[in-house]
Amino acid sequence: MSELLKKDRELVIPGDEIIRSMDFLPGKNCFREGNSIYTKKIGLVSVNRRVISVIPLSGVYIPKAGDMVLGEVIDIQNNGWVIDIKSVSEAFLPLSGVREFIDTSKTDLSKVYGMGDVVYAKISGTGATSVYLTMQDSRSRKLRSGRVVKMSPAKVPRLIGKEGSMINLIKNKTNCMISIGQNGLVWFEGEKESKVIDAIGLIEREAVVDGLTDKVSKLLEG
């Protein structure tokens, strides 16, 4: 087996060769050309047994089934709602994805979710160019008040932290309710809303710095 040309967790630029070997498989954000595996995106190398993948540092949100996202209703059709989730395509929330039964002959769909309403929904599945949402999840709901900010989707894992450590810290220190969409939209409502914005800004700017939790905690106390 041949050696890795790049270390685990090393920064790679599109076109960088990670390994020259047929014993490994190209995973996420990687591709094979000849005997070598190269990276498609700017990111950090991640080696999991024999699969080489790259964790991206930037880029738009790519929908994945099971993710929770925040989105805005941009169109109403006779069998559901079109939702803008700030991704490569629109998402569709069909009537079957709503918890209660709706009789379309009696109810106006815009009374359930109107244009411009913001929903916190789960991605139930994805097709080649389509994304389906569902509200059949205990976390899903329509957001009636509060604020929404956008951050880089690549940095959402840092906002959440290990097993939610970072987000719980922010929730406790600011006394806010926070809902994070994997697509980079974050909803919150509570006492110190401006502190939440500051914390998100700090995490976005310094996502890769060590000791981020301490810095955020200092910011929230000061």
Interface segment toward another protein; rule CB under 8 A; list 34-42, 131-139, 140-148, 168-176: 34-42
Is residue 134 close enough to count as binding another protein by CB under 8 A?
no
Encoded amino acid at 1, one letter: M
d(CA 83, CA 89): 10
- The stretch near another protein (CB under 8 A) out of 38-46, 92-100, 138-146, 167-175 is 38-46
The only residue of 4, 11, 47, 51 in contact with another protein, by rule CB under 8 A: 11
Member of 22, 31, 64, 139 binding another protein (CB under 8 A) = 31
Q: What's the CA gap between 202 and 111, in Å, rounded? A: 39
Write down the least CB distance from residue 14 to another protein, Å.
4
Closest CA to 100 of 136, 144, 140, 138: 136
Residue 209 found at the interface with another protein (CB under 8 A): yes
- CB closer to another protein out of 31 and 48: 31
Determine if 14 is a binding residue for another protein (CB under 8 A). Answer: yes
| Dihedral sign for Cα atoms in the order 123, 127, 130, 132 | negative
Which range in 29-37, 97-105, 166-174, 177-185 contacts another protein by CB under 8 A? Answer: 29-37
Closer CB to another protein, 153 or 176, in the complex: 153
Asked if 214 touches another protein (CB under 8 A), the answer is no
- Considering only residues 15, 116, 211, 222, which one is a binding residue for another protein as defined by CB under 8 A? 15
Q: Is 40 in the site for another protein (CB under 8 A)?
A: yes
Tokens at residue 36, please? 């070598």
Q: What is the DSSP letter of 107?
A: S
Strand order, beta sheet including 17-20: 17-20, 36-39, 30-33
Q: How far is the CB of 65 from another protein (least distance, A)?
A: 17
The residues in 49-68 that bind another protein, with binding defined as CB under 8 A, are 56-60
Query: The dihedral of CA 191, 197, 200, 206: what is its sign?
Result: negative
User: Is 37:50 a contact under the CB 8 Å cutoff?
Assistant: no
> For 113-142, b where at least 16 C-beta lie within 10 A, e where not — what string?
beeebbbbbbbbebeeeebbbbbebeebee
48 binds another protein (CB under 8 A): no
> What distance in Å separates the CA atoms of residue 207 and residue 215, rounded to the nearest whole number?
11
* Interface positions with another protein (CB under 8 A): 11, 13-15, 17, 29, 31, 33, 38, 40-43, 56-60, 84, 86-90, 128-129, 154, 208-209
